Amino acid sequence: MSDVAHRAPTSQPLIWSNWARTATCSPAGRARPRSEAELAEVVARAAADGRSVRAVGGGHSFTPAATTSGMLLSLDHVSGLERVERLPETGNALVTVGAGVRLHQLNRMLAARGLAMRNLGDIDRQSIAGAISTGTHGTGARLGGLATQVRGLRVIGVDGTVHDVGPGDPLFEASRLGLGTTGVLSAVTLEVVPAYDLVAEERPVPLAEALESLDGPDGVVATSDHFELYFFPVTGRALTLRNTRVEPAPAGRVARARRAARSFLDEELLSNGAFEMVNRLATAFGGLTPRLNAVSARGLSARTYQAPSYQVFCTRRRVRFREMEYAIPRERVRDVITEVDDWLRASGENVPFPIEVRFAAPDDVWLSTAHGRETAYVAVHQYWRLPYTRYFEAAERIFVTAGGRPHWGKLHTRDAGDLAPLYPRFDDAARVRLEHDPEGVFHNRYTRKVLG
C-alpha cells in the first residue's frame, strides 16, 4: 500500500455527501495528499488501477459534480500561498495558490498583502478549484466570474504529469472551468487587484420599481459596480443591494466598519435562527407561507455600511437550502422574473425563500455561463426540508425558453445534447478532454450527462 493510501484518514465516513444533501457517493478510496508530488502519485496510481478520480473542494455544489465510486481526493493540504508577483503598470498582482485553498483563507492571505479578488460570490466556503471549475460568480455588469480572474493553472494528468498552462493553451482554456474533467488542478494563478472597500447600500423597494430601474445606460445595473436584487415570492417587495468600490478606509475606521459590516441580508435574514424558524413553520403549516413571506419582506430595511470588499461580498448561509440558477440573456431578465413570480402566484407553491438576481459581463471562458453575452443570473431557492421539484421544474421551463444556461454547480435537468448548442466552444472543450483523458478517468455520471 502506498504512503499516500496510509495517510488517507480511516475515520472518514464511507459515504460522502455535499452541503445541500442532494448528492452522495461511496468512493472506493479517499486521499488527502500533502503535496503536489503526492497528489500526482495518487492520481497516476488510481488511473493505472482503472479507478475514476475526482477531486472535491468544499462540497458546496448542489449537483453531483464531485461524486465518484473511485478515488475521491481532497486538496485541503494543497492550499498554501506559493508566489506573489506585483504588476507595477496596474498595481495588480499575479498570485499562485494551492488549488485546495478555501476562499475565506485566500481572502485573508490577499488582505494581509494589500490585495483582493476582483469579484466574489455570496459565500467563501468553497475551494478556489471547486469555485472556478463550476463557474462560480458574483455580480457586476462590468465583471466576470471567478474563472475570468485565472491566469495560470497546474493540472495533473492521468499519468501524474504536471501540466503548467496559461492563456491560449487549449488545456488551460478547457480546465479553468471544466468540472475537473481535464485533470486535477493542483495550483491556480489569479490576477488580483489592490485591496478596496465596498460601500454597501441595501434598500427595500416595490419589486415593480426595482424592475423598472434595471435597464438602460442610466439604469442601476449599468451604473453600479455590483448590483443585485432579492425578492420574496408573491409579496411584490424586493431588496436591492448596490456595492460601490472605494479606497480602503484607514485602519481605525476599518475596525469600526468591520463591526458594522453586518448586512441585513446576512445577520437578519438568510443566516439567522429566526429565518430557520420561519422555514420550519412554513414546512409544518404551508398555508402560512404567504403571510410569513409578507412578514419577512416587510422586515426588509434600508442600511448603508462600508467594509473591506471580501467581508461585504461573502456572507454566511446557515439555513440549508436547495438552489437552481440559470444565466439568462441580460435583456430577458425582467420577463423571466415576472413569469416566475406569476407561476408562484398561480400555483400557490409553498416557497418561503427569496429569489436572487445578479449580473455579469460577457466573457471568453469556453464553458462559462456568461460566455459571449451580457448575462443576468436568476436563482430560485427552496428550504431543504420542503419539496423543490415542481417549483424548480416550472422555473427551469421559463429559464430554458429564455435561452438560459444552467449553473454547472446548481440543480438542473439539462444534458449535453441540450447544452452543446448554447456554447460555441463546447466541442473544443470535448476535444481537449478526449486528448488528455481518452479513458474518461476524470469523469463521473454527472459530467458524462452534461458534457457528453
Ligand X SMILES: Cc1cc2nc3c(=O)[nH]c(=O)nc-3n(C[C@H](O)[C@H](O)[C@H](O)COP(=O)(O)OP(=O)(O)OC[C@H]3O[C@@H](n4cnc5c(N)ncnc54)[C@H](O)[C@@H]3O)c2cc1C
User: Which residues of this chain interact with ligand X, rule CB under 6 A?
Assistant: 19-20, 54-61, 65-66, 75, 99, 121-123, 126-127, 129-131, 133-134, 136-137, 179-180, 184-185, 317, 407, 409
Q: Give least dist CB 88 to ligand X, A.
A: 31
Give the shortest CB-91-to-ligand X separation in angstroms. Answer: 26
Nearer to ligand X by Cβ, of 137 and 248: the residue is 137
The CA distance from 420 to 373, in Å, is 16
Distance in angstroms (rounded) separating the CA atoms of residues 215 and 201:
19
How far from chain centre, in Å, is Cα 180?
15
234/357 with CB nearer ligand X: 357
Closest listed residue to residue 92, CA positions, set 149, 14, 33, 155: 149
Task: Give 20 or 282: the residue with its C-beta nearer to ligand X.
Answer: 20
Minimum gap (Å) between residue 72 Cβ and ligand X: 9
CA 111 to chain centre: 21
Asked whether the beta carbons of 177 and 367 are under 8 A apart, the reply is yes
For 32, 157, 204, 266, 413, the CA distances from 297, given in Å and listed in that order, are 44, 50, 8, 15, 31
Q: How far is the CB of 240 from ligand X (least distance, A)?
A: 17
Say if CB 402 and CB 332 are below 8 A apart: yes
CB of 306: closest distance to ligand X in angstroms? 21
Radius of gyration of the chain measured on its C-alpha atoms: 22
User: Is the CB of 406 or the CB of 409 nearer to ligand X?
Assistant: 409
For the CB of residue 291, give the shortest distance to ligand X in the complex, in Å. Answer: 26
Q: What are the helix and strand counts (H, E) for the chain?
A: 16, 19
Q: Which is nearer to ligand X, 290 or 444 (CB)?
A: 444
Residue 249 or 416 with smaller CB distance to ligand X:
416
Least separation, in Å, of the C-beta of 262 and ligand X? 18
Shortest Cβ 358–ligand X spacing (Å): 8
* Closest distance to ligand X from the beta carbon of 61 (Å): 3
End-to-end CA distance of the chain: 34
The grid cell for 428 is 473544443
Q: Which residues contact 232 (CB under 8 A, 6 or more apart)?
A: 293, 294, 296, 297, 354, 355
DSSP string, 279-290: HHHHHH-GGGHH
Of 234 and 366, nearer to ligand X (C-beta) is 366
* Rounded distance between C-alpha atoms, residue 159 and residue 162, angstroms: 9
- Reference 183, options 441, 8, 409; nearest CA is 441
Q: Which is nearer to ligand X, 184 or 300 (CB)?
A: 184
Q: HSE (CB half, 13 Å, CA atoms) of 344?
A: 27
Return the number of the residue (175 or 235) whose C-beta is nearest ligand X: 175
Nearest to 132, CA basis, from 150, 113, 112: 150
Min dist CB 380 to ligand X, Å, is 13
Q: Are 356 and 282 in contact (CB under 8 A)?
A: no
> How far is it, in rounded angstroms, from Cα 252 to Cα 49?
57
Q: What distance in Å separates the CA atoms of residue 33 and residue 35, rounded to the nearest whole number?
A: 6
Closest residue by Cα to residue 400 from 323, 334, 322, 326? 326
Would you say 234 or 422 has its CB closer to ligand X?
422
**Between 60 and 237, whose beta carbon lies closer to ligand X?**
60
User: Please, what is the minimum distance in Å from the beta carbon of residue 165 to ligand X?
Assistant: 13
